[in-house]
Amino acid sequence: MIILAAMAFVFTSCGNNAANNAEQAQEAPAALEIDNVLASADSLVNTEITLEGVCTHTCKHGATKIFLMGSDDTKTIRVDAGSLGSFDQKCVNSIVRVKGILKEERIDEAYLQRWEASAAANTEEHHGDGEAGCSTEKAARGETANSTEERIADFRQKIAARKEATGKDYLSFYFVEALSYEVVE
């Protein structure tokens, strides 16, 4: 009788551990790779995702942005701190896991005209050093031009090429609005 009771206790304990492990696995969703997020970004816009990558840069203006790299430096996504305020400097050169909402920023002719107007009025917002902008953000968006005028002209050329190829008269750049984050390594 005692042996049967002990066996029942062992089986019940093992069953509970398996159930607890399954619950824990469900609580922590698998992190998406940066490459996969960028490849299917248009279908993920405005959805909550968890992604993980190496943080290559923290914005010098209050650490309100970080950049996570995928398989190489051509596959990078910006993460905005949003309501979190800022990111810890420990993020740089570490693997960072972020839970957030994937957002799309569209660059179209109206956007470029507003940019030109703010540049002419000397009210444009500057990120990075000088009018060239933040080199990390430029790399994430595939920009190569340096001056404001060159950057706007480059965007216009890319928009024209995209419109000819797909009929879309804008460029899409994706970023994540963070809800939470953790430094993994």
pLDDT tens-digit map of 137-160: 877 777 777 788 999 999 999 999
pLDDT at residue number 125: 63
pLDDT at residue number 112: 95
pLDDT at residue number 119: 86
Domain count, the chain: 1
> Interior CA angle at 161 toward 156 and 163, to 5°?
95
In this structure, is residue 132 part of a structural domain? yes
Percent helix / strand / coil, the chain, rounded to 5:
45, 25, 30
In this structure, is residue 115 part of a structural domain? yes
CB-CB neighbours of 39 under 10 Å = 13
Distance CA 128, CA 131 (A): 8
In this structure, is residue 84 part of a structural domain? yes
In this structure, is residue 13 part of a structural domain? no
pLDDT at residue number 185: 78
In this structure, is residue 135 part of a structural domain? yes
> What is this structure's pTM?
0.76
pLDDT at residue number 83: 92
**Residue type at 118?**
S
In this structure, is residue 19 part of a structural domain? no
Instruction: Tell me how far CA of residue 129 lies from CA of 58, 112, 134, in angstroms.
Output: 14, 20, 6
Regions of the chain where pLDDT drops below 50: 1-25
In this structure, is residue 12 part of a structural domain? no
* Residue 65 lies in domain: 32-183
pLDDT at residue number 59: 83
In this structure, is residue 9 part of a structural domain? no
**Residue type at 101?**
I
